[in-house]
Amino acid sequence: MNTTRRFIMAAFLPILMLVGCGSNGIKTTRSEYGDKWPFTVEEGVLSCTDTGRTVGTTRMLEVTFTANGVTYGLNGTAKQNSRYSNVEAIWANDPSLPGTRKNITPIIDRGLALDGGIRATGGSS
């Protein structure tokens, strides 16, 4: 590998490591989702973290939601990580179906979309 190529790789590798899932989170609020908001808190930061692990060709991504200084695991991969709190503490009951919780899938999909892996629409669709 020539010197120029090495310099370019050394300069851009740290930047490339920050791109994609886990590089940042997005503020997500009840007002974006209206009655479909699945949490008992008004807002939080939705994030996606790439664990660096794969199963077959599938990357293992953790979708989390941070509210009031507590980070909750939303998807199966994040729920398996003991450093995240149990989302059931802020997961709202669904009044239209007693004994169930509101659908959290749109929030998880939006978190995964932070990675660019899937396309998610806004909460009001």
Measured over the CA atoms of residue 119, residue 73, residue 46 and residue 16, the dihedral's sign is negative
Q: For residue 106, is pLDDT > 50?
A: yes
Of 84, 62, 82, 71, the closest CA to residue 41 belongs to 71
Lowest mean pLDDT across 6-15, 49-58, 84-93, 105-114: 6-15
Percent of the chain with pLDDT over 90: 70
Please tell me the total number of residues recorded for the chain in this structure: 125
